[in-house]
Copies of this chain bind each other. A is one copy, B any other.
Amino acid sequence: MLTTMLAGALLIDSDRRKMADEVKLYAVAGSPFVCRAKIALNMKGIKYENFEEDMSNRSAELLKFNPVYKKVPVLVHNGNPISESLLIVEYIDEVWKGVPILPQDPYEKAVARFWAKFIDDKCIPAIFKAFGPDGNEQSDAEAIEQLQILENELKAKGTKFFGGDNINLVDIAADFIAYWLGIIQEAAEKTLVTNDKFPKITVWADDFVNLELVNQVLPPREHLLAFFKKRFGKA
């Protein structure tokens, strides 16, 4: 009874908030970090105004809202700016009820944060390095080593997503690996993640990208492919 009353109160509060809220996202369509915020907003069914930034000529608003990094995404909720994509996802999960993005249990939550941080601190930098101007056999091996840790984690969990039956913070953090990495591999004509070596990541990436709420916010494949082909001198 108490639980029902509280749940009711939360729902009403959440609905009221949804209607009254002003939510703005400063974004660049091609960014996996921006897409993290968009997926989280989508999961909660939040309507927002998208402000597309030109990173060679940033808007006065972006510079005002993220003076430290001057980067996207920035979420501005009722005038309050929040930077850093994973912190935006956590904020969205805390403010808006509905589908949970982080586990409720403190230990499971810490584990999810650990893997999201691992993706940001280890996997993505290693992949950037492998496909960067100084990429070589050693940096390829290092990227594969980090991705292998993720592959093992997915195998150990034995679930469809890092979040279990549904996606959570970790899946969202890994959107770059699910979608961008395959396109970059094709553009660079270099494949680190093969189906053979990474069967779990391969299947997970397909499942993740095929989710409607993810698919809706991903930039068109052909745009990204053209962009990266040009960057790798393969256009």
Chain A residues in contact with chain B, CB under 8 A?
2, 68, 77, 80, 82-84, 87-88, 90-91, 94-95, 106-107, 109-111, 113-114, 117-118, 149
Whether A117 contacts B80 by the Cβ 8 Å rule is: no
Closest 10 CB pairs of A and B: A94-B106, A91-B110, A82-B110, A80-B107, A95-B106, A87-B113, A87-B110, A91-B106, A84-B114, A87-B114
- Note all chain B residues with C-beta closer than 8 A to A109: 91, 94
Task: Give the number of copies in the complex.
Answer: 2
A107 to B94, CA, bound (A): 9
In the complex, which residue of chain B has the Cβ closest to the Cβ of A149? B68
A113 surroundings in chain B (CB, below 8 A): 84, 87, 90
Whether the pair A68, B118 counts as a contact (CB closer than 8 A) is: yes
Q: In the assembly, what is the distance between CA of A192 and CA of B87, in Å?
A: 30
The interface residues of chain B lying within 8 Å CB-to-CB of A77 are 107
Our pick among B82, B107, B117, B118 for the contact of A114 (Cβ within 8 Å) is: B82
* A88, A94, A107 — most chain B CB neighbours (10 Å): A107
Could you show 14 A-B contacts with beta carbons less than 8 Å apart?
A: A2-B2, A68-B118, A80-B107, A82-B107, A82-B114, A84-B113, A84-B117, A87-B110, A87-B117, A90-B110, A90-B113, A91-B107, A94-B109, A95-B106
Instruction: Please give the distance in Å from A36's CB to the nearest CB on chain B.
Output: 14
Report which residue of A80, A84, A110 has the largest number of chain B beta carbons within 10 angstroms of its beta carbon.
Answer: A110
Query: How many angstroms between the C-alpha atoms of A107 and B88 in the bound complex?
Result: 10
**Nearest residue in B to A116 (C-beta to C-beta)?**
B87
Closest to A107 in B: B80
Tell me which residues across on chain B come within 8 A of A111, comparing CB atoms.
82
| Nearest CB of chain B from residue A13's CB, rounded to whole Å | 13
Shortest Cβ distance from residue A55 to the other chain B in the assembled complex, whole angstroms: 19
Roughly how many angstroms separate A94 CA and B112 CA in the complex, as a whole number? 14
Q: How far is the CB of A204 from chain B (nearest CB, A)?
A: 19
Cα(A80)–Cα(B111), bound, Å: 10
A90-B83 Cα distance, complex, nearest whole Å: 19
Which residues of chain B are near A68, meaning CB under 8 Å?
118, 149
Residues of B within 8 A of A91 (CB): 106-107, 109-110
Closest to A77 in B: B107
CA distance A117 to B68 in the complex (A): 12
